[in-house]
Amino acid sequence: MKSPTLHLRPSPRLRHCAAFTLVELMVAMMVLTLVMGLLLQIFSGTVRATQNSHRQMVAMRQARMVLDPLRKDLTALVAQGEAATIFVRQDSGNATLAFLTRNRGPQGVSDFRFLAVAYELAGTQLTRKAEIVTWGQPDLMAQALAAVTAPNVAPLSNSVLRFEVMVVLDNGTTEPLSTAGPWKSDTALGETVPSGFYALRLAGGAAPDPAAPRVRSLTVAVATVEESILRLPGATNIGALLPSPAAGQTPHEAWNTLINSGALNAIPQPAISTMRIVQMTVPVR
């Protein structure tokens, strides 16, 4: 007797189930690659935006570290009548400010003591130098300007590209330091201003004189970046490319006009997009 033969028949369901073809697998891989690439772009863009936002905040903080102490010193400016006690010079667009500011001396001291301060940009480092002086000494101006070379240096920021000062006159006009005018003086405090500097004639409480305008306030602007940006090629040259404002124009207006014109396109984009321009106006009457 023959043993029964077992015949296996495929299920109808299995006959209709086919494997993926090579073309289908390739299409699936392409779609997956496109999706992963899109997600990577979104992630990279988010990271760059976060980094730029952080760098902008750091650059803004660097600007405030410069302007806040300068505002306090100028608010306590020492002026005797119309005698100018602000001495300025301008080198390659960057300004140096030297002046006397009030500083309380110890109680019981007969001579009221003051502080001679100087703000100066060297490279990308902006410093505040200070020396204690006493009012009434015959060499008061020399002491005031001695702050420029004083050893007591306090670095305020290491990432300042430009430090610009404009004067606002009592007739309402704004002038750059390079402009000649009656608001400049070669003498101050009864002495001749040393070569390389000149003094500002302050408005004081006198009525405006159209023929001889005086300085009513200072407009100070800084362009700063986050310190790591300075390692990018050409970043340290931005300050030299920023133009000195024309009469009636503020540094903020002049510098933004240049940036928007595309003249700085050769500079790496992160250096331009994260640079902060901060400006303040301080009365000095």
Instruction: Tell me if 27 is assigned to some domain.
Output: no
Instruction: Tell me if 142 is assigned to some domain.
Output: yes
Q: What is the pLDDT of residues 41-55, one digit of tens each?
A: 887 777 777 777 888
Looking at residue 158, what DSSP letter applies?
A: S
pLDDT of residue 109: 45
Mean pLDDT of the chain: 82
Of all residues in the chain, the percent with pLDDT exceeding 70 is 84
Instruction: Tell me if 62 is assigned to some domain.
Output: no
User: What Å distances lie between residue 64 and 12, 67, 70, 252, CA to CA?
Assistant: 79, 5, 10, 15
The pTM (predicted TM-score) of the whole model is: 0.78
Q: How many domains does the chain have?
A: 1
Instruction: Tell me if 29 is assigned to some domain.
Output: no
Instruction: State how far the Cα of 169 lies from the Cα of 83, in Å rounded to an integer.
Output: 16
Instruction: Tell me if 253 is assigned to some domain.
Output: yes
34-44 mean pLDDT: 82
Instruction: Tell me if 47 is assigned to some domain.
Output: no
* Residue whose pair of structure tokens reads 């003094």 in the numeric block: 199
125 CB-near residues (< 8 Å, 6+ apart): 155, 157, 158, 160
pLDDT category, 275, cuts 50, 70, 90?
very high
Instruction: Tell me if 133 is assigned to some domain.
Output: yes
Q: Which domain, by its residues, includes 89?
A: 77-283
Instruction: Tell me if 17 is assigned to some domain.
Output: no
Strands of the chain (E only): list them: 86-91, 94-102, 113-122, 125-134, 153-157, 160-169, 174-176, 184-185, 187-188, 191-192, 198-200, 215-224, 276-283
Is the predicted pLDDT of residue 102 greater than 60, yes or no?
yes
pLDDT of residue 90: 81
